[in-house]
Chain A
Amino acid sequence: MVAGLLVESPAGEGVARPRSAAAVPPARAVWWRRALRAAPPYLYLTPAVILLVVWTYRPLAQTVQLSFHSWNLLPTSPIREVGFANYERLLDAPDLGASLWQTLVVILGMLPFTLVIPVLVGLLSRRVRGRAGAVYRALVFAPMLVAPVAGAAVWQWLLDPSAGIVDKVIGSPVNWLHEAGTAQIAIIVITGWHIVGFAVLVVSAGLTGINPDYVAAAGVDGASRAQATRWITLPLLSPTMAFLVLMTVLLSAQWTFPLIDTLTQGGPAGATTNIYYLLWDYGFHSYDAGLGAAAGVLFFVGFVVLASGLVLLSDRLSHHDD
């Protein structure tokens, strides 16, 4: 009989490790080598950051600064510090409330063009494929390529109460651009005509991003076309729709600006003066740079709050497709 022991076999190792060896210290490169390796991303970012600083952040800071001063835009006239006087004047003026209301009207009026029509057109045109689809999308997108001012000039003729084709077609002499009620409608419809192609394109892209298996699966599962749209496609499109709402809320009033300036100059009687036109009016019609800047700062803060809320909302919606 031979005496012995059952011995555990050691875990495999690539190389024999000296028993006595302590933990091996991690290799560390010299500091400038590490800095050099970390630098490229920052270098790539630099041009964009410089442009942002020059064209966005510096003007923003200057606007804030200007909002506490009084100045008439003449290089020769002095800039006086006035504290919060510009903000007080702004909040006391009745124009502000009216223009906020007009802005809200524009946003609500734009939603059919930026959300409802594009979603309907997007869903209906899904089955237009290949070359026909490309032509169709180009046609819908075309108004976006027309310069707003040129478009406005044409619409001015179309809406002319004596010779315009719009009144001829509906058979009643409405003075679209010079009546308080209709001027805002005209501005909204023309802006909508301009922007709807872009929104359709966004919706089409959103629909293309949805895996066709979902709708196919819904069909096999027994859902009708309407049910599949309601229960599958629209919920999966919600991040796109949230994006469009965000764009509409933040940018509608800006999109209308060239049209207002060309067609109504904010009139009649301020009926089409939204906040952007108002602040432009303060600065460049009344030459009250301080007041314009104060309005700008106020709207900026307001839109930051609004945008944050909407971004949060769209983040919650966009957990969908992965």
Chain B
Amino acid sequence: MNVKVIVKGQAKGSLLVAKNPLNFLGGIDKKTGVVHDKNHDLFGKSIGDKILVFPYGIGSSVGAYTIYSLKYNHCAPLAMICLKADLTTASGCAISNIPLVVASKNDYDSLQEDKEVVLDAIKGQIS
């Protein structure tokens, strides 16, 4: 599928799919990458070393620094795929050098948990 590139890069790995939007500042442990928001469908799971699929980010723009901390603590996602690019996620991925793309609604809905994919966020393709 073709996607819009927000932050360039390449990644290969399995998908972790969230139904709910993510609040990086309040919802994720920046030292471990584990989602600790009890109301989130990824509660208890680690987002580290996965290609993270979620609709969009919510909450304070300081959440961008949390993404940076995840990377610095070696527990950041390999890449992120969103339905829409919010400024917090875009800034956070940019300062952390994590590839970020936006997929169309149909393509986004077809992304399945655990599927192995190759994300080319230079050409704008997922295969």
A binds B: no
Interface residues of A (CB under 8 A from B): none
